[in-house]
Amino acid sequence: MPSQDTSSKQKQPVVKCESVYKIFGENAEKMLQSSNGKVDAKEFQDAGCVVGVNNASFEVHHGEMLVIMGLSGSGKSTLLRCISRLTDTTAGQIFIEGEDLLALSGKELIELRRNKMGMVFQSFALLPHKTVLENIAFPLQVKGNSTKDSMIRAMEMVELVGLDGRENYFPRELSGGQQQRVGIARSLAVEPDIWFLDEPFSALDPLIRKEMQDEFLRLQGVLNKTILFVTHDFDEALRLADRIAIMKDGIIEQLDTPANIVLNPATEYVRKFTEEVPREKVLKIETVMEPLDSSEELADLKVSKDAIIETVAEAVLNEQKPIAVVDENDKIVGVIHNSKVIHVLFGDNKEETND
């Protein structure tokens, strides 16, 4: 059993946003005040203001990965920059582990960044004059750690991201994927609690991107950080996310688990994204299982309720009998018939798009 302390810590959201607004422009604050929280992007644009984030409220819990998805100009990066306080929010409140981020003084903010935050950037943002090792050790040295300790820790990170043997290379001598590994290693060097990733894989080739996503999932498996991940790639979002926030024109259109977003898109805009998504790649067994009927004879095979359909489809289809679905404690919570799986694999898409 976890102790009282950690359980209360886990209950408290790590990141909490309360109606956050970010509006660019000369007299944004005044306009926002007069609009009473109801921001119309067009009206603001006419006045020379650009709405970046419009009334964003959500919570991210410990160990959770929230993916913020949106097309370019949707305000997703702005939202991330607000939460990391790289830009100042126009209005609203942000809490990091219960602490009011916007009330922090410059010094406290630096302390927070030095100890709790790590960030990965789209174009890697490595320091060109430093080697791989020095880049990774940079946040540690900035913190004031001794050179020796920093370098030992940095070397561990080099090994973690699989760049051993290249620690004395300069960023310009590395491929894009390798550079982003350095970026990831640097952001993890201080062992942050919250990990921000701003389109980390967008600048990479599709094959490398896939590889890096796998690598990222592996790392997350080991590290279990609280993650805010920004992407414009819906497939990537589905692949990685615990929950996805879909943004458009600064507004969060829908914030839900990948499965729920695919099954029940909240708006027309979200639906457009989900149309082309193969269900089996998103849905978990849980969503198609049926309650256990004791009269049925079950196959020997058992599948986890959290398994993605695609990964177990072949095994399920090979069985004639219904298959037991178990939870993490190996308790049977339902059954799955292969007809259901066939339905997901081949049948459903068209009907849904038609209606």
Partner 1 sequence: MDYLKNNPKLVQLGVVLIGFVVLILMTGQYSEIIDVRDGFTKAVEKGQIVPVTGFSESVSMILSGQLPPQFVRIPELNFLNLVVSTSIVYILTTLLIMAGLIFNNYYSKIQSSKISLIDWFKRYWTKLFLYVIISIFGGFFVAPTLFTWFFGEPGTSSFWDLPIIVTDYGNFLMYEWFPIQVYDPDIEEFEDKALIFQITRGISAALLFCIALIREILLGGVKTIVAFTSWDWLSENEWAYWPALPWTVVCATTTMLGYALQGRGLAMLACFGTLYISIFGQWEPSMETLSFVLIAAPVSVILGLFFGVWSYKSKSVEVVLAPLLNIAQSLPHFSYLVPVMVFFGIGDQAGAIATIIFATPPMIRLTLLGLKRVSPEVLDAGMMSGCHNYQLMFKVLIPTARRDILIGVNQVIMQCLAMAVIASFIGAKGLGFNLLLALNQLRVGQALELGLCIVIIAVVLDKLSMAWANKQTDYFADLPFMLRHKWSLLFGVILLIGIVLSYIGTFIFKGGINYLYLIPHTKGVTLEPMLQGGIDWFLDYFFFSLQDFNKWLIVDILLPMRESYLSMPVSATFFLVMGIGYIVGGIRSALIVGLCLLFIALLEWWDRALITAYMASFGVIASAIIGITAGSLCAQNKLASKVILLLCDTFQTFPSFVYLIPVMILFGVTDTTVLIAVIIYATIPATRYTVEGLNSVPEDLQDAGSMSGVSRIQRWVKIELPLAFPHIMLGVNQTVIFALFMVIIGAFIGTEDLGQFIIKALSDKQGIGNGLLLGLCVASIGLTVDHLIQTWASRRRKLLGIN
Site residues, partner 1 (CB under 8 A): 25-27, 47-48, 81, 84, 86, 106-107, 110-111, 113-115, 117-119, 121-131, 133, 138-139, 142-143, 147-148, 151, 155, 168, 183, 186-187, 190, 196
Closer residue to partner 1, CB minimum distance, 161 or 313: 161
Q: Are 170 and 134 in contact (CB under 8 A)?
A: no
Find the shortest distance in angstroms from Cβ 144 to partner 1.
10
Find the shortest distance in angstroms from Cβ 123 to partner 1.
5
Task: List C-alpha distances in Å: 117 to 112, 144, 199, 223.
Answer: 7, 16, 17, 14
Find the shortest distance in angstroms from Cβ 276 to partner 1.
31
Q: Are 51 and 75 in contact (CB under 8 A)?
A: yes
Find the shortest distance in angstroms from Cβ 137 to partner 1.
8
Closer residue to partner 1, CB minimum distance, 113 or 284: 113
Find the shortest distance in angstroms from Cβ 322 to partner 1.
51
Find the shortest distance in angstroms from Cβ 130 to partner 1.
8
Q: Where are the beta strands (DSSP E) in the chain?
A: 15-24, 50-60, 65-70, 91-96, 99-100, 117-120, 194-198, 226-231, 243-248, 251-256, 302-304, 323-326, 332-336
Q: How far apart are CA 175 and CA 181, in angstroms?
A: 10
The backbone region for 196, taken as left when phi is positive above 0, alpha when psi lies in -120 to 50, beta otherwise, is beta
Closer residue to partner 1, CB minimum distance, 124 or 234: 124
Nearest Cα neighbor of 225 from 119, 104, 102 is 119
Q: How far apart are CA 47 and CA 53, in angstroms?
A: 17
Find the shortest distance in angstroms from Cβ 7 to partner 1.
30
Q: How far apart are CA 45 and CA 55, in angstroms?
A: 17
Nearest Cα neighbor of 263 from 274, 252, 255, 272 is 274
Closer residue to partner 1, CB minimum distance, 74 or 131: 131
Find the shortest distance in angstroms from Cβ 95 to partner 1.
19
Q: How far apart are CA 27 and CA 297, in angstroms?
A: 70
Closer residue to partner 1, CB minimum distance, 149 or 348: 149
Closer residue to partner 1, CB minimum distance, 132 or 324: 132
Residue owning tokens 């370098």: 151
Closer residue to partner 1, CB minimum distance, 58 or 138: 138
Find the shortest distance in angstroms from Cβ 61 to partner 1.
22
Closer residue to partner 1, CB minimum distance, 49 or 262: 49
Q: How far apart are CA 131 and CA 172, in angstroms?
A: 9
Phi, psi of 106 (to 5 degrees): -55, -45
Q: Is 168 exposed, middle or buried (0-12, 13-18, 19+ CB in 10 A)?
A: exposed
Q: CB neighbours (10 Å) of residue 199?
A: 21
Closer residue to partner 1, CB minimum distance, 22 or 81: 81
